Amino acid sequence: RHFHWSPGQTAYLIMPSVSTLPFEAHPFSISSIDSTLFSSEANEEGTENGEHSTKPRGAAYWKELVFLINIRGGFTKRLKQVAADKKTVKVFIDGPYGPSSDLGAYNTSVLIAGGSGITNILPIFLSVIEAVRNGSSNCRRVVFIWAVRDTDHLHWIEDALFRVHEVAPSSLNVSIRIFVTRGNVARSESDSMELSSQDQSLGGKDGILAVTWLKIETGRPEVKAILKDEVNGASGRMSVSVCGPQSLSRSVRHALRFPVSGPSSILHGGPSVTLYSEAFGYA
């Protein structure tokens, strides 16, 4: 209750019973936001359209510390085993640390995540929705892009995306695009999803793959084309936030070079563009 953080910040987790050394500290991005807007109580009160949600929720993502941890070796591998055994362990939290992106002054925000970069981009996305709701943001359009290997990984953020859809104000244009770089994702002529057996839970009646308010595409995102379209359609101030592999960050930087953005673009009525780039590594 006395721990507060901002979107994009990290915290060090210390788990003596899991670590090799008693006070090893491992940094992870906080993937939730410090807010009660999306709490279970708010869910019961209804959505922006006056509807009530009956879909069961997992991790709240709001006013709750949530860490999405990619399993590698060492500490994260041992932590996975602890979770598999459904054990409870004592955790010491050191933080939060790092800067936070305040996107309230931007009219358009484009958020791009690659793989584990979602841990940084997701809370920023949630904070934009909240800021528009409470009137502290000028944002009129937000674009959320995640490049991920398999549709299986969508369950990491499924609950969060459903809540975003439910509470996003009508004044905000929200575009959610998921790019699956591996796996079998296809759309028929009727735009329905052809699901593999492992996708059934996600693609069922209430699953994320069955909804029409997000777009799922195969392959890697054409960053240059996407950003060019967004710049051409925007005015005022625009932010582009990216977190993911270095190759993705480079692609975004190159895509925003002249003549896509810059003084000439602004003189012709285009937006002034600010880039926020965040690197990530493995603990």
Per-residue pLDDT tens over the stretch 220-261: 999 999 999 999 999 899 999 999 999 999 999 999 987 777
Q: Could you tell me if 150 and 180 are in contact, meaning their C-beta atoms sit under 8 angstroms apart?
A: yes
Q: What percent of the chain has a predicted confidence (pLDDT) above 90?
A: 59
Residue 97: predicted pLDDT: 95
∠ Cα 14 242 147 (to 5°): 90
Average confidence score pLDDT of the chain: 83
Tell me the range of 150-154, 170-174, 269-273 where mean pLDDT is highest: 170-174
Question: What number is the average pLDDT over the span 195-224?
Answer: 73
Instruction: Specify the DSSP class assigned to residue 33.
Output: B
Closest CA to 267 of 275, 258, 280: 258
pLDDT for residue 59: 45
Contact at 8 Å (CB) between 133 and 35? no
Domain boundaries, the chain: 10-97, 108-278
Q: Which residue has the tokens 């869910």?
A: 43
Q: Which of 35-39, 90-94, 148-152 has the lowest mean pLDDT?
A: 35-39
Confidence of residue 270 (pLDDT cuts 50, 70, 90): confident
Q: Which of 19-28, 32-41, 73-82 has the lowest mean pLDDT?
A: 32-41
Q: Which residues, 6 or more positions from 218, have their beta carbon under 8 angstroms from its beta carbon?
A: 179, 180, 181, 185, 186
- The answer to whether the beta carbons of residues 122 and 144 sit under 8 Å apart is no
What is the average pLDDT across 63-84? Answer: 89
Rounded to two decimals, what is the model's pTM?
Answer: 0.83
- Which tokens sit at 56? 């069961």
The CATH number that domain 108-278 falls under is: 3.40.50.80
Q: Which of 67-71, 113-117, 256-260 is the least confident region? A: 256-260
Q: Is the pLDDT of residue 281 over 70?
A: no
